[in-house]
Amino acid sequence: MKRLLVIFSAIILFAGCDEKIQPVISEEKYDGKIPIQESWDSEIVFTEAGRLQAILYADHIYVLNEENQREKHLENMKIDFYNKKGVISSVLTSKRGKIDDATSNMWAIDSVVAVSDSGVVLETDELMWRHKDDKIVTEKFVTITSDKEKMEGYGFESDQHLVNYTIFNITYITSVNQK
């Protein structure tokens, strides 16, 4: 009886090995293109001459190779920007984003919020971080709130630490009550 049980178990074990599991690929999500790379719960470290500039965290990253231009597409992203002393100086979050591999420029898209270590809060729909000069820029509508004032307008440029910033077309400004 034991011998029959062992033989039966072996048959079941080996019979199950013939089935191949194929992953499901949703071509809708990627505009009909299949990613050449994907990763989940990832982080990307940005450095310049050995100095830490930023760490990006994303729930999902996928890379599309489009006409010799590679871009990393990001979902649910967070970026910690570091100052020269290696301390976090600002944090940016958004629902989506992308990185151009050729320039290392990064876009944050949809529900973008950036908060500096001094308490300045930036809110907008889309923002670009230019790698060559560490500037944060957008032509979209922005809201900046600090402990002293709240400003709104179109067009924005700042250092990545949100210390020196400019709104180009201010539409609203008010003092914030200090408690």
Asked if 74 and 56 touch (Cβ cutoff 8 Å), the reply is yes
Among candidates 48, 109, 59, 49, which has minimal Cα distance to 81? 48
pLDDT > 90? residue 33 = no
Q: Which of 12-21, 50-59, 63-72, 159-168 has the lowest mean pLDDT?
A: 12-21
Predicted local confidence at residue 150, as pLDDT: 93
Residue 29 has pLDDT above 70, yes or no: no
Strands across the sheet containing 88-100: 37-48, 51-66, 69-82, 88-100, 106-116, 121-130, 135-145, 149-159, 165-175
Cβ proximity of 96 and 111 under 8 Å: no
User: Can you give the pLDDT at residue 68?
Assistant: 64
The confidence band for 38, taking pLDDT boundaries of 50, 70 and 90, is: confident
Q: What is the pTM of this model?
A: 0.76
pLDDT value, residue 22: 64
Amino acid at 146: S
C-alpha to C-alpha distance for 98 and 86, rounded to whole angstroms: 24
pLDDT above 70 (res 20):
no
What is the model's pLDDT at position 69? 67
